[in-house]
């Protein structure tokens, strides 16, 4: 009752201060707060109950009620989503807690992020902030527990950065569609004076960008070769002679989707090549990054900035 009184007091205060600010006052959009409102907004609820069993029945009406206080003298049940003995004097009554709740924070699936929980009588919901090496696949990453104890999620935190060599997990899925400004970074070391290859893959065996770093390969010597693959066929490409690679020496490669419909290839922070995007292979189609041939990869960041 105290909480309800408090809300009513607040409502009254709002009405009066509103009337001071402007005339006339419209009251039609105001209504009295009910216990249902309080439950939905996450507050605890007081209900009538003559016995502990009635309190349990009342508690069971709320999917996420797992604790209550039974005040024997006033015959009221004070329902709460979880036992909270810190703030409310009602805890001085007989306190009961469900020892086998379907939904508890401890049962949440791992989420690769920091979770802020909101636990009400009708929901248990967590908002996830992804750890640094992970990326959100939706604007809000949410985990929530259904009344039956099953977990539901919206989006996820997907790993975007790896720093533990050796890396043999290619091709690596890009979890979020890429747009202008997107870069992928690869740290590695060439292992042979043949070639190594970095590919941006899309569906239908296509590659919006095929980058071949050739020490000696076919007719090329010390050349960055950029091309496409369209429906399984490599298309004509272009060679760039600025070739900074040395077998056995680490490099830092960054391939960026530039906003003027080009790819930009940086090696050791210097731009080495600019290559137009193929009109039939937009960067938004990129699904994965592949690195192969004579190279050891020591670090991969699917969403890097430098
Ligand atoms: C509240 O409950 C916790 C865990 O059951 C207990 O450790 C703590 O001492 C309690 N606090 C008070 C004020 O009773
Ligand atoms: C039970 O409720 C009455 C009336 O609200 C209150 O005065 C009393 O302190 C409560 N008893 C306990 C044990 O909380
Ligand atoms: C990830 O979160 C950021 C910040 O909230 C947001 O700008 C971005 O659009 C989100 N990513 C996706 C794929 O929704
Ligand atoms: C892949 O090919 C199929 C059939 O030709 C086509 O319907 C689909 O749009 C293509 N997907 C992409 C991403 O180009
Ligand atoms: C080798 O180079 C020639 C001439 O540039 C080209 O026609 C041929 O397709 C290349 N072969 C391979 C396997 O890349
Ligand atoms: C695209 O813009 C970059 C600078 O952002 C520039 O270096 C590059 O030459 C431009 N490419 C084309 C084809 O205009
Ligand atoms: C380099 O690649 C070629 C062709 O895939 C392979 O035959 C060779 O063994 C590789 N060299 C090293 C050192 O892995």
For 250-290, the pLDDT digits (tens) are 999 999 999 889 999 999 999 999 999 999 999 999 999 99
**What average pLDDT is seen over the chain?**
87
In 191-280 the beta strands, taken as DSSP E runs, fall at 195-202, 206-217, 220-230, 233-234, 238-240, 251-257, 262-267, 270-276
In short, whether 188's Cβ falls inside 6 Å of ligand 2 is no
pLDDT for the residue 82: 85
Closest-CA residue, ligand 3 atom 8, reads: 139
What residue ranges of the chain have pLDDT lower than 50?
Answer: 1-21, 40
* Cα–ligand 2 centroid distance for 58 (angstroms): 19
pLDDT for the residue 1: 38
pLDDT for the residue 241: 96
In short, whether 139's Cβ falls inside 6 Å of ligand 3 is yes
Q: Note whether 298 and 291 are within 8 A (CB).
A: no
Burial of 150 (0-12, 13-18, 19+ CB in 10 A): exposed
β-sheet with 124-130: strand ranges across: 113-119, 124-130, 141-145, 151-154
Rounded CA separation 88/80 (Å): 11
* Cα–ligand 6 centroid distance for 274 (angstroms): 7
pLDDT for the residue 69: 86
User: Per the confidence metrics, is the pTM higher than 0.85?
Assistant: no
* Cα–ligand 4 centroid distance for 206 (angstroms): 10
- The 10 Å Cβ neighbour count of residue 86 is 6
- For 199-243, write each residue's pLDDT tens digit: 999 999 999 999 999 999 988 899 999 999 999 999 989 999 999
pLDDT for the residue 87: 58
- DSSP letters of 114-139? EEEEEE-SS-EEEEEEE-TTEEESSS
Nearest to 287 by CA among 231, 221, 211, 204: 204
């Amino acid at each position: 009752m105290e909480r309800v009184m408090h809300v009513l007091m607040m409502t009254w205060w709002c009405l009066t201060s509103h009337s001071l600010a402007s005339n006339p006052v419209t009251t039609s959009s105001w209504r009295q707060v009910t216990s249902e409102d309080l439950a939905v907004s996450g507050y605890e609820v007081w209900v009538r109950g003559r016995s502990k069993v009635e309190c349990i029945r009342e508690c069971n009406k709320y999917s996420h009620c797992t604790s209550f206080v039974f005040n024997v003298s006033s015959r009221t049940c004070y329902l709460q989503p979880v036992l909270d003995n810190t703030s409310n004097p009602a805890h001085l009554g007989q306190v009961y807690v469900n020892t086998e709740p379907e939904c508890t924070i401890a049962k949440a699936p791992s989420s690769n992020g920091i979770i802020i929980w909101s636990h009400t009588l009708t929901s248990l919901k967590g908002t996830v902030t992804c750890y640094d090496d992970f990326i959100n696949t939706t604007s809000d990453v949410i985990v929530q527990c259904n009344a039956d104890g099953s977990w539901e999620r919206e989006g996820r935190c997907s790993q975007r950065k790896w720093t533990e060599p050796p890396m043999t997990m290619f091709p690596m899925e890009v979890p979020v569609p890429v747009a202008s400004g997107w870069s992928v970074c690869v740290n590695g070391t060439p292992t042979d004076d043949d070639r190594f290859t970095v590919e941006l893959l899309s569906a239908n065996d296509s590659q919006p960008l095929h980058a071949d770093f050739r020490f000696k390969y076919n007719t090329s010597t010390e050349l960055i070769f950029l091309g496409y693959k369209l429906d399984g066929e490599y298309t004509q490409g272009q060679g760039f002679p600025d070739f900074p690679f040395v077998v056995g020496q680490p490099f830092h490669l960054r391939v960026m989707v530039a906003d003027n419909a080009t790819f930009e290839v940086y090696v050791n922070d210097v731009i080495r090549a600019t290559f137009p995007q193929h009109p039939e292979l937009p960067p938004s189609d990129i699904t994965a990054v592949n690195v192969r041939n004579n190279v050891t990869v020591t670090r991969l960041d699917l969403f890097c900035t430098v």
